[in-house]
């Protein structure tokens, strides 16, 4: 049994998140290749009676990293502790988690790329040899205590695999990238979650919510919950295609699933920067949103939708983006400004 008591309590308003989150890996939809790898590794770890190798998940927010991190311990039948990179400011912050570990239990660190260097280095021996050094006392009377830890599995999640240092990344035996979901996978998630919420929904309404969910289960859940509320307030509670269209229109979510922030980004890139190239910091300052948020939460879907490209000289809007915002693209450059051609970022 997974002892949930060791997990952080959900933040207020997270009840729906807990209710909709799959409990077992078999209940998860999509990510078939990742699931196959994990199931083999979990099976082997159980047969060998050893902890599962450390696992690193990377990918944009809302794609299932935390869900995997809560399902894996259930498959292993071990407890899990949840921690977050930014909250672990110094090695002393991570010591309680490490000393609380039970044999083969799981420690999940979300946003692991935000661990300070000192904490990251402290993790090296913990991950590799299941031991840590604790310094007791101060100054000349300081002593170092070498502490043996219980064999455990670290699960790290990051939206920025590129920001992880090589030594940390190399200490994860299993590294999996979570990609965006297809419309049909999201439709299946919407249908399953409508059932969990006891909500009547037509097939075309479920497909429409999926299409407008930016390839992301968390977004699909949020859209579904909003549409449910809208159906209750404005109709008889049943979710039809018409209800989805009206609910989406009211919150400014367009047919590609872009929300107001996504469109503001595109609009700024096109109208203020003439379609680019524009640096991310310049865009972030103009729309007053932190550049990290744009890089982690806005750009991955715009890139995947071929609405923007990242080049060595900055971000550029594609003809598709101009078309989507109903703006006539400028005539192609003849090179008269002597600028270098744009190369995709490597």
- What are the percentages of helix, strand and coil residues in the chain, rounded to 5? 50, 15, 35
Tell me if 212 contacts ligand ADP by CB under 6 A. no
Closer to ligand ADP by Cβ: residue 58 or 309: 58
Q: Is 187 tagged catalytic?
A: no
Site string for ligand ADP, 155-184 (x = CB under 6 A): --x---------------------------
Tell me if 21 contacts ligand ADP by CB under 6 A. yes
Cis peptide before 185 (omega within 30 of 0): no
Q: Look-up: residue for tokens 């661990």?
A: 115
Q: How far is the CB of 239 from ligand ADP (least distance, A)?
A: 18
Q: How many helices (H) and strands (E) does the chain have?
A: 15, 9
Indicate the residue whose CB is closest to ligand ADP. Answer: 64
For ligand ADP, which residue of 62, 85, 257, 275 counts as binding (CB under 6 A)?
62
Q: Is 218 tagged catalytic?
A: yes
Helical residues (DSSP H) of the chain, grouped into ranges: 15-20, 32-48, 65-76, 91-99, 117-129, 166-170, 183-196, 203-211, 217-234, 241-251, 260-267, 280-287, 291-293, 299-304, 319-324
For ligand ADP, which residue of 114, 218, 315, 324 counts as binding (CB under 6 A)?
218
Cα 53 from chain centre: 21
Q: Is 65 tagged catalytic?
A: yes
Residue 88 · residue 188 · CB < 8 Å: no
User: Which span (44-52, 59-67, 251-259, 289-297) binds ligand ADP, by CB under 6 A?
Assistant: 59-67
Considering only CA atoms, give the Rg of the chain.
Answer: 23
Q: How far is the CB of 88 from ligand ADP (least distance, A)?
A: 17
Q: Is 74 tagged catalytic?
A: no
Q: Is 159 tagged catalytic?
A: yes
Query: Whole-angstrom Cα distance, residue 241 to residue 257?
Result: 15
Q: How far is the CB of 218 from ligand ADP (least distance, A)?
A: 4
Positions that interact with ligand ADP (CB under 6 A) = 17, 20-22, 28-31, 61-67, 157, 189, 217-218, 221
Residues labelled as active-site residues: 65-66, 110, 159, 218
């Amino acid at each position: 049994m997974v002892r949930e008591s060791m997990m952080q309590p959900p933040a207020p308003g997270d009840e729906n998140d807990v209710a909709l989150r799959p409990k077992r890996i078999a209940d998860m939809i999509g990510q078939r290749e990742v699931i196959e790898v994990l199931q083999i590794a979990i099976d082997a770890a159980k047969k060998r009676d050893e902890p599962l190798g450390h696992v690193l998940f990377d990918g944009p927010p809302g794609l299932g990293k935390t869900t995997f991190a809560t399902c894996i311990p259930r498959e292993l039948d071990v407890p899990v502790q949840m921690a977050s990179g930014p909250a672990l400011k110094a090695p002393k912050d991570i010591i309680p988690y490490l000393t609380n570990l039970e044999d083969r239990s799981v420690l999940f660190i979300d946003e692991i790329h935000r661990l300070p260097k000192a904490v990251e280095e402290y993790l090296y021996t913990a991950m590799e040899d299941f031991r840590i050094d604790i310094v007791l006392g101060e100054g000349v009377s300081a002593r170092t205590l070498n502490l043996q830890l219980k064999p455990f599995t670290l699960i790290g999640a990051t939206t920025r695999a590129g920001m992880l240092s090589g030594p940390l990344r190399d200490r994860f035996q299993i590294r999996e990238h979570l990609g965006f979901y297809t419309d049909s996978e999201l439709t299946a998630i919407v249908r399953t979650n409508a059932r969990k919420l006891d909500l009547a929904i037509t097939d075309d309404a479920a497909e429409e919510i999926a299409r407008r969910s930016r390839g992301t289960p968390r977004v699909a859940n949020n859209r579904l919950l909003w549409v449910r509320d809208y159906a209750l307030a404005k109709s008889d509670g049943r979710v039809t295609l018409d209800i989805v269209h009206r609910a989406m229109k009211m919150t400014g979510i367009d047919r590609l699933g872009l929300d107001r922030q996504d469109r503001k980004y595109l609009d700024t890139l096109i109208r203020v920067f003439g379609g680019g190239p524009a640096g991310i910091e310049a865009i972030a300052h103009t729309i007053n949103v932190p550049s990290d948020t744009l890089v982690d939460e806005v750009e991955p879907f715009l890139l995947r939708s071929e609405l923007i490209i990242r080049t060595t000289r900055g971000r550029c809007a594609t003809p598709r983006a101009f078309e989507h915002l109903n703006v006539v693209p400028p005539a192609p450059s003849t090179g008269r400004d002597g600028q270098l051609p744009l190369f995709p970022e490597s």
